[in-house]
Amino acid sequence: MTDRLTIGVIDPEVLGTYGDTGNALVLSHRARARGIATDIVEIHLDEAIPADLDLYVMGGGEDTAQALAADHLRRCADFTAALRRGRTLLAICASLQILGRSYTDATGREVAGAEVLDISTTPQGHRSIGELVTAPLLPGLTQPLTGFENHGGATQLGPDARPLGRVLSGSGNAADHDGGAVDGACQGGVVATYMHGPVLARNAELADYLLARAVGCEVGDLAELDMPLVDQLHAERVRAAGVSA
């Protein structure tokens, strides 16, 4: 297990809707509480994204902003290759979309994605806005996941991507579901979701899943943290959505 963690925040100038960059602060706080030193490194649109950091976060963004980030990712082939080989990354909303094969924005323009996730996104014709609660499908997670969604895109998963959660309340990947409603996409070390929040402030289990993966241990090897406010926030958001945990 490493005792020092470098967390990359990718394109915070365009991908930070609803404070998504706070996910890096949560990871850093939970790591430091366990004696793991952290460095948070911002990587901007005009910079090459280093391929060897321990953990990355990417946030959500509006259509114009996310097109800039999509272009940036397509220029950083070493980084996207590292993701395909298993680097750990959390992606929110617009970032989920741009890591896929392609997405079509609200104006009908199809934008090539980074081809890290086996997903594609097309417009729903309306926006899904509101609280989203899911039952996690990622092994080891037991608590409902909660977040706030606001997106016009509907995302379809190909066979290589697995959903992050089964929707209990809200839309998730698509408002009109054939069969089960799901949110997010997981593939290798990439975990992507439509949940803003920041999602890790609301869902400590997910934060620890990413931390454990990045430091190279099992979640059970991380020391338990006593943070009652975090538990309170989680319980409150699940209750507010009218979902029984």
Q: Which residues are annotated as a binding site?
A: 127
Interface with ligand GLN in residues 16-45 (CB under 6 A): 17
Q: Which is nearer to ligand GLN, 153 or 198 (CB)?
A: 153
Q: Which is nearer to ligand GLN, 62 or 71 (CB)?
A: 62
Q: Which stretch binds ligand GLN (CB under 6 A): 44-52, 82-90, 145-153, 219-227?
A: 145-153
Interface with ligand GLN in residues 88-127 (CB under 6 A): 93-94
Known binding site for substrate: residues? 127
3-state secondary structure 141-191: CCCCEEEEEEEEEEEEECCCCECCEEEEECCCCCCCCCCCCEECEEECCEE
Let me know: does 34 contact 28? Beta carbons within 8 Å. no
**DSSP per residue over 14-83, as a string?**
TS-GGGTTHHHHHHHHHHHTTT-EEEEEEE-TTSPPPS--SEEEE----HHHHHHHHHHHHH-HHHHHHH
Interface with ligand GLN in residues 46-75 (CB under 6 A): 60-63, 66
153 binds ligand GLN (CB under 6 A): yes
Let me know: does 159 contact 118? Beta carbons within 8 Å. yes
Kindly state the number of chain residues that form the binding site for ligand GLN, as judged by CB under 6 A.
12
Active site residues: 93, 196
Instruction: Tell the smallest beta-carbon distance from residue 60 to ligand GLN (Å).
Output: 3
Q: Which is nearer to ligand GLN, 31 or 57 (CB)?
A: 57
Name the site residues for ligand GLN (rule: CB under 6 A): 17, 60-63, 66, 93-94, 150-153
